[in-house]
Amino acid sequence: MQTRKLGPFNVGVIGLGCMNLSHAYGPPVSVDQADRVIAAAIEAGVDHFDTATLYGFGANEELVGRLLKPHRRKITLASKCGMEGRPDAQGVIRKAIDARPSTLARQCEQSLRRLQTDAIDLYYLHRYDRSVPIEDSVGALGDLVRKGVVRSIGLSEVSAPILLRAHREFPISAVQTEYSLWTRNAEIAVLAAAREIGASFVAFSPLARAFLTGALTDVTTLHATDIRRAMPRFASDAYAENLKLLGPFKALARQAGCTPAQLALAWLLAQDDHILPIVGTTSVAHLRENLVAADLALPPDLLAAADALINEKTVTGARYNTQGETEVNTETFAPA
């Protein structure tokens, strides 16, 4: 696989986001299935794996740590802090954003144990905590680098001004934000800001949470606990409008001689050489399909056609609901 810079590391251009194995899209897959996916990724040359304290409320780090331990020296391991699961008054585990320095130090210690490693290669602040100055949170992450338990740090879902403030406190190696044909918020400012400071840009949900695969045609089949059920773009009426884009998109993929997912990933990789998508899947077949995109070189006019077909002006529905929007700090497009 071709490689790109991920902070101080060289990694394959497509990494594996491990969240899907434990979190957010319905019940976790079996350990055997998770093992098959990660083993297939290793076999295919994937060397960038991404997890977080939040995913499965620690379970994903435990899973990833156990499965990747034999390969630890060959991979770049990323995790995230600042969001975790906490019981509410009724004992229900809910996510909580907390980026106080003491919390980040505690979470790092717990993550190191779960990941079965003595240092995390890339440690992100999962969300900017508006109650804590970004300088305090990033300063605490810098302390972890100085202690040797973290090798580089990143930020997730932040705006350009917050990124630049953070970088003045301690060097930011990577920024992670949703980016795909149908989610273009990063193009407003943070993509350019990351390039300005020399940070890599890690794009999560590059396949638009399965929309760009062409396989999700009926949102009523989503599991009751699937996070897409709360996302406006996946509401029945909005999704019906978005599905109208899939026919022409599939036709472009046929013209390119690839699958819709491969076209979506090839478009993303063509946007800038500091962009690295991480794909999330529970299927070995889908993983292998996605990785083919790393070596696709598609005609510029075809990529431009995909760009014009699916973008912030043609997609129906917001990225997050009102609650979700309060949890991120990314720039948003003005209403049409």
Q: Which residues are catalytic?
A: 55
Triad 322, 323, 327: Cα angle to 5°: 115
**Could you tell me which of 27, 67, 33, 99 has the C-alpha nearest to residue 283?**
33
CB contact at 8 A, 250 and 303: no
Which residues does 158 contact at the CB level (< 8 Å), separation at least 6? 128, 134, 166, 175, 177, 190, 329, 330
The two tokens of residue 122 are 């890339």
Query: What DSSP assignment string belongs to 263-299?
Result: HHHHHHHHH-TTEEEEE--S-HHHHHHHHGGGG----
Other CB atoms within 10 A of residue 96 CB: 15
CA atoms of 231 and 245, how far apart (whole Å): 18
Amino acid 22 reads: S
Strands 15-17, 48-50: pairing kind: parallel
CA-based end-to-end distance of the chain:
40
